[in-house]
Amino acid sequence: MTTIQSAFQLMIVAGEASGDKHGAKLAAALRVLRPDLSFEFFGAGGDEMRLAGVETLVDAREVAIMGAVEVARALPKFLRVFRRLREAANERRPRVVVLIDWPEFNLRLARKLRKDGHRVVYYISPQIWAWRSYRIRGIKRDVEKMLVILPFEPEYYRQHGVEVEYVGHPLLDSVRVTRNRDEFCAHHHLDPSKPLIAFLPGSRHSELRHILQPLLETANALNQTHPHFQIILPLARTFARAEIAAQLDSISNLHLIEQDTYNAIAAADLAVVASGTATLETAIIGTPLIVVYRASQLNWRIFWPLINVPFVGMPNLIAGREIAPELLQSELNAVRLSKEIVAFLGDPNRLMQARKDLAEVRNKLGEANASERAAQQILDLLKA
């Protein structure tokens, strides 16, 4: 068996905020596992990867775009980024390229890099088991190994003849609650004796554009019927307060929370969460939730027929049944959501069962330290 040289380059490509976080943790874990090596990381990422010592040739914020129409409009930018990363890979010849999530871009990049003779590892699988399953053919052809983070994914890939390893979910390493309910309420001038509902409308501008409005209408409706309800809106780091503050001024029962999202979720009796990573963060914390989603009519018509799983919420997919109600597209409106919130909060047994179900999801995710296990898999490949 050959040994790893004392210094080598490794390319990491992430195009969204979550991928930036996972890429940073991966780079840090590689350095911890092999302090004797001189790593030179480069690729695409954001602030967290830069802080971890990754040279970001592309800033993830440039390309954090979602939806067919939005991507089409930004196509020239994507092509420039694509060429920049491919040229950098061919010039610097990294020992391995690690692609993190971001499937619309990374699967195409994997194909070109494989043709260019690069070894490609994919960390955090595209959700091909949910939609556009034909992409498994490209993964089998272009990716040397999949490092997956959901407990049902290894069986799917093995059935299709793809090398795969389950490393656990990296959110188990990053979701941390640092205040109890009383401390959170005191810090944010809330009443811990009154019901507390957290609204999380997503972290992308397209999500905020389509999801925030029905949530605000729901807050207004609840203010009329249940004025003792307190609604908190933890603001994602991708947004500035000024972007939405004007929309909240007229809603007396809604409080904007900045840089305290995990504590906000933990303090809440119930969370209303846009489908995505935040639903799993909420499940790990253990707060009962309602999953919501709305997109433009055009994007919905394009993508909904391609989905081949019974749920969109990750806690429901992992549990294999609906443990969190889902209100999607036209169902996400103030009348439906208000009714669901009131029914949920009015049923202590339902709230208790939801917490038990979420604990089951948390247990299925396994142990923490996913980044270290992913890093070890990459080092093992480099030794081979």
Question: Residue 339: what are its φ and ψ, rounded to 5°?
Answer: -60, -45
Which residues have a Cβ under 8 Å from the Cβ of 363 and sit 6 or more positions away?
Answer: none
Please give the structure tokens belonging to residue 214: 């029905």
Residue type, 89: A
Which residues have a Cβ under 8 Å from the Cβ of 306 and sit 6 or more positions away?
Answer: 131, 132
Please give the structure tokens belonging to residue 114: 């494989």
Classify strands 230-235 and 289-293 as parallel, antiparallel or unpaired.
unpaired
Whether the pTM exceeds 0.85: the reply is: no
Model confidence at 3, pLDDT cuts 50, 70, 90, reads: very low
Check residues 382 and 289 and name the one with the higher pLDDT. 289
Sheet harboring 230-235: ordered strands across? 254-258, 230-235, 196-200, 270-274, 289-293, 326-328
Question: Is-contact 9 94, C-beta < 8 A?
Answer: yes
Query: What is the H or E stretch that residue 277 is in?
Result: helix 277-285
Find the mean pLDDT for residues 40-61.
Answer: 93
Question: Is-contact 91 115, C-beta < 8 A?
Answer: no
Return the half-sphere exposure (C-beta side, CA atoms, 13 A cut-off) of residue 205. Answer: 9
Q: What pLDDT is attached to residue 2?
A: 44
Rounded Cα distance, 147 and 87, in Å: 25
Question: Is-contact 292 275, C-beta < 8 A?
Answer: yes
Question: Is-contact 227 257, C-beta < 8 A?
Answer: no
Whose tokens are 């980044």? That residue is 371
Query: What is the H or E stretch that residue 198 is in?
Result: strand 196-200
pLDDT at 63 exceeding the cut of 80: no
pLDDT digits (tens, 9 = 90+) for 75-114: 777 889 999 999 999 999 999 999 999 898 999 999 999 9
Check residues 248 and 58 and name the one with the higher pLDDT. 58
- R_g of the chain, CA atoms, integer Å: 21
Which residues have a Cβ under 8 Å from the Cβ of 267 and sit 6 or more positions away?
Answer: 179, 180, 181, 184, 185, 192, 196, 198, 232
pLDDT digits (tens, 9 = 90+) for 344-354: 999 999 999 99
Question: Is-contact 203 276, C-beta < 8 A?
Answer: yes
pLDDT digits (tens, 9 = 90+) for 169-206: 999 988 999 999 999 999 999 999 999 999 999 877 77
pLDDT at 64 exceeding the cut of 60: no
Classify strands 145-148 and 326-328 as parallel, antiparallel or unpaired.
unpaired
In eight-state DSSP terms, residue 95 is S
Q: What pLDDT is attached to residue 4?
A: 46
Spatial CA neighbour of 64 closest among 239, 289, 259, 189: 239
pLDDT at 381 exceeding the cut of 70: yes
Please give the structure tokens belonging to residue 112: 């070109």
Whose tokens are 């802080």? That residue is 51
Rounded Cα distance, 279 and 34, in Å: 34
- Angle formed at CA 211 by CA 209 and CA 213, multiple of 5 degrees: 80
pLDDT at 331 exceeding the cut of 50: yes
Please give the structure tokens belonging to residue 218: 């729901």
Find the mean pLDDT for residues 150-156.
Answer: 95
Find the mean pLDDT for residues 274-281.
Answer: 93
Lowest mean pLDDT among 2-11, 31-40, 86-95: 2-11
Question: Is-contact 107 135, C-beta < 8 A?
Answer: yes
